[in-house]
Structure 1
Amino acid sequence: MKRLTTLLATASVLAASQVSAFAAEITINSFGGAYEEAHRKCVIDPFTAETGADVKIVTAYSADAFAQLRAQKDAPQYDVIHFSGGQEIVGAEEGLLAPIDASKLTNAADLYPFAGANMDKGEGPAYQIAAIGLLYNSDELAEAPAKWADLMEPDMAEGLVLTDISNTYGLFGFLMLNQVAGGDLDNIQPGLDAVKTMLENGAFVVSKSPEIQQAFAQGGTFIAPYASDYAYTLRKAGLPVKFQQGEEGTPASYITANLVAGRDNQDLALKFIDMELSPEAQACFAEALRYTPTNSKTELPEEVAADVAYGEEGVKSLLRFDPAVIEANRADWVVEWNKAIAQ
């Protein structure tokens, strides 16, 4: 009888632990569409399979997710929150995000140094990079464009499409052109002057990424500064478009995974972040969407590597324009941009 009681007690403990494991849940945001599909395939489903924990997904882009985080400061819904616009810098300063001990992440040691530089301050690690470079029609151009400065050549203008700086990728491309023209974040006039000249020579401006696809598809357009992942999108649409990093540097949009402060299941949240940093998850994302991996041990096939900033050589030219400065000035920059392109 005593042995039966012990067995029943053990069974009850096991059953309770199984219920607890399957009842465990974290809440994250993802960006919807193809991104969310890849997120499920590369991280969420493997995480659930390994831990038994459910992942509740709120579809919210960076700005909206950050607004929610601020509004819910005293009772946040998110355990892990993802940003692509640098919101983690402000979130860490405001105490909305928790510092991350790198020793609790098995993949932290394999990250490129820039990717996890401020985890101890609450800024989550970058688990992907959207690299901004030169998209070009390989049927129209015999050689890949080597430099951002090439876009300023008069004979490039007739086939050049620029993207409005209300679009983040368009903004990063413009800031790179501004830097090459001699400007910086305190002075965007050199970039504006360069854009005026490009437009006078035949370039034109679009506002959204589908318009870039339309421009390439209609013919006449053979080069555009934009994100590496979109070159892949265009090729899937049957267009002969490739991605090239410019010699002067590659603007980078960091996609970060952040630990929310004030939640009671941070160990589980950290495990989720750690899985996002794994070479397997990052290779999966690169295969699906052509984002640049931040784990140095990520191995990519040649055709995928050609579309991203890959390996030590590829990532050493990545540069990040200060998100705080961009946030403080963006509205004014848009006004100046609109004046410039209207002339």
Structure 2
Amino acid sequence: MTRRLFSTAAALALGAATPALAQVPTLTISVYGIAQDEYKAALYDPFEAICGCRLVVETGNSSERLAKLEANRSAPVIDVAALSDADAAEAAQKGLIQPIDPAAITNLESLYDFARDPVGGNHAIGYTFYGTSIVYRSDEVSVDSWLDLFSDELRGRVALPNITTTQGPLALYMIERAAGGESDDFETAIAMVAEHRDDIVTFYERGSQIPQLLQQEEILAAVVGRFGWSNILRTGLPVAWAEPAEGQTGGMNVLTVVEGTEQAELAHQFIDFWLSAEVQTRLAEGLIDSPVNTTVTVSEDIAEGLTYGAETAAAISFIPPAVQLEHRNAWIEGWNNNVAR
């Protein structure tokens, strides 16, 4: 009798616990693999504490994760995806992500204008951005224009990004503008790089190569993204971040809600939390992300390692995602036929 009562009580307890466990919502997010410990402390754990939910985090580069969204389009396994703006545009084009409800994002008005709807149709919201410019040895040369990359002063002392890197098209974009070209295929810029290709030390594949090349005095200047600036500063060399007359370019990463998710409301809450001044400040102070929330303030030392402030943001010209999608094959073809041959 005692054994039967114990079994009955245990079954009732289990039955009572099961619905409670089932009611804990799970949000699966797809993000870049970098700085995950920092993201956990600044974003994931605080959100779980607020929402009473569980986050499942999947990582990888943008294109790999975009491919996974497409492979699972009929039965989505991701709720929120952080992508490059161009990959988000492709995802929207393929119907892999759904519009974000602006009314559900309370922090939207606090963001830079360019971050609010970078892809169009409210399919994405920017959560971080970066500038791209020219880093140079300020004790040896001066850089005032993107065309200075091809000056006699810098001949044989420059590193440019390969076309297959994130920075490659950005460098060509600004060279095209500086040279007065008007082609979205960067015909003028590619021709100029091809003309001077023997004067370029390397067309680098990884930004981590640049500090070493500077230390070894193989180069005096390079086109880099701002996210690599702090590592260059650590070399202790007299270096400067150029502010060319033609301006700077840069890139943006965005947040999206996956089409077909069953957690759309929770996805919006998570995105809103990520864009809050509180979270954006923590990520900025950890030198993880440059904030798009304009109410974030950081010290001068922290700002030096970021793309930070309204003046800096206003100086950046982004390549529209639609242009990236339409012309990137032409960029690679033009580069391979003229520069890499």
Residues 74 and 336 of structure 1: is their aligned pair in 2 closer, same or farther, counting only changes over 3 Å?
same
Aligned-partner Cα distance in 1 for 2:58–2:84 = 16
Q: Which amino acid aligns with 1:317?
A: A
Q: Does 1:259 align with 2:260?
A: no
Aligned-partner Cα distance in 2 for 1:237–1:46 = 35
Q: Which amino acid aligns with 1:64?
A: E
Alignment RMSD: 2.8
Residues 209 and 19 of structure 1: is their aligned pair in 2 closer, same or farther, counting only changes over 3 Å?
same
What TM-score results when the alignment is normalised by the length of structure 1? 0.85
1:281, distance to aligned residue in structure 2 (A):
2.2
User: Aligned residue for 1:92?
Assistant: 92
User: Aligned residue for 1:318?
Assistant: 316
1:75, distance to aligned residue in structure 2 (A):
1.1
User: Aligned residue for 1:181?
Assistant: 179
Structure 2 SS opposite 1:258: strand
Structure 2 SS opposite 1:335: helix
Quick check: 1:286–1:292 contact (8 Å CA) kept in 2?
yes
Structure 1 SS opposite 2:286: helix
Structure 2 SS opposite 1:86: helix
Structure 1: 5+ residue stretches without partners = 1-13
Q: Which amino acid aligns with 2:165?
A: N
User: Aligned residue for 2:281?
Assistant: 283
Q: Which amino acid aligns with 1:264?
A: E
1:200, distance to aligned residue in structure 2 (A):
4.0
Residues 190 and 203 of structure 1: is their aligned pair in 2 closer, same or farther, counting only changes over 3 Å?
farther
Aligned-partner Cα distance in 2 for 1:283–1:244 = 26
Alignment of 1:1-12 (within 5 A): none
Residues 157 and 280 of structure 1: is their aligned pair in 2 closer, same or farther, counting only changes over 3 Å?
farther
Q: What whole-Å deviation, never above 9, does each CA across 1:279-319 have from its counterpart, x for those lacking one?
A: 23223333334643211111121122234332221111222
User: Aligned residue for 2:33?
Assistant: 32
Quick check: 2:101–2:122 contact (8 Å CA) kept in 1?
no
User: Aligned residue for 1:150?
Assistant: 148
Q: Which amino acid aligns with 2:255?
A: A
Percent sequence identity is 27
User: Aligned residue for 1:5?
Assistant: none
1:268, distance to aligned residue in structure 2 (A):
1.3
What TM-score results when the alignment is normalised by the length of structure 2? 0.85
Quick check: 1:157–1:199 contact (8 Å CA) kept in 2?
no
Quick check: 2:119–2:321 contact (8 Å CA) kept in 1?
no
Alignment of 1:214-233 (within 5 A): 214-233=212-231
Moved more, 189-198 or 237-246: 237-246
User: Aligned residue for 2:76?
Assistant: 76
2:334 to 318, 333, 336: 336
Aligned-partner Cα distance in 2 for 1:246–1:228 = 15
Quick check: 1:92–1:123 contact (8 Å CA) kept in 2?
yes
Quick check: 2:185–2:330 contact (8 Å CA) kept in 1?
no
Quick check: 2:85–2:118 contact (8 Å CA) kept in 1?
no
Aligned-partner Cα distance in 2 for 1:332–1:75 = 34
Task: Work out the number of aligned pairs and report it.
Answer: 327
Quick check: 1:170–1:226 contact (8 Å CA) kept in 2?
no
Q: Which amino acid aligns with 1:273?
A: I
Q: Which amino acid aligns with 1:39?
A: Y
Quick check: 1:30–1:59 contact (8 Å CA) kept in 2?
yes
User: Aligned residue for 1:11?
Assistant: none
Structure 2 SS opposite 1:182: coil
Q: Which amino acid aligns with 1:29?
A: S
1:69, distance to aligned residue in structure 2 (A):
1.0
Aligned-partner Cα distance in 2 for 1:271–1:15 = 27
Residues 118 and 342 of structure 1: is their aligned pair in 2 closer, same or farther, counting only changes over 3 Å?
closer
Quick check: 1:26–1:56 contact (8 Å CA) kept in 2?
yes
User: Aligned residue for 1:4?
Assistant: none
1:80, distance to aligned residue in structure 2 (A):
0.5
Residues 136 and 52 of structure 1: is their aligned pair in 2 closer, same or farther, counting only changes over 3 Å?
farther
Q: Which amino acid aligns with 1:74?
A: S
Q: Which amino acid aligns with 1:259?
A: V
User: Aligned residue for 1:304?
Assistant: 302
Alignment of 1:128-143 (within 5 A): 128-141=128-141
Residues 256 and 336 of structure 1: is their aligned pair in 2 closer, same or farther, counting only changes over 3 Å?
same
Aligned-partner Cα distance in 2 for 1:325–1:72 = 27
1:272, distance to aligned residue in structure 2 (A):
1.1
Q: What whole-Å deviation, never above 9, does each CA across 1:197-240 have from its counterpart, x for those lacking one?
A: 44344543222223223312211322111100111133346555
Residues 190 and 118 of structure 1: is their aligned pair in 2 closer, same or farther, counting only changes over 3 Å?
closer
Residues 149 and 280 of structure 1: is their aligned pair in 2 closer, same or farther, counting only changes over 3 Å?
farther
Aligned-partner Cα distance in 2 for 1:140–1:275 = 46
Q: Which amino acid aligns with 2:316?
A: L
Q: What whole-Å deviation, never above 9, does each CA across 1:122-167 have from its counterpart, x for those lacking one?
A: 42100100221122234545x6x33323323220233211111110
1:260, distance to aligned residue in structure 2 (A):
1.2
Aligned-partner Cα distance in 2 for 1:276–1:266 = 15
Structure 2: 5+ residue stretches without partners = 1-15
Structure 2 SS opposite 1:209: coil
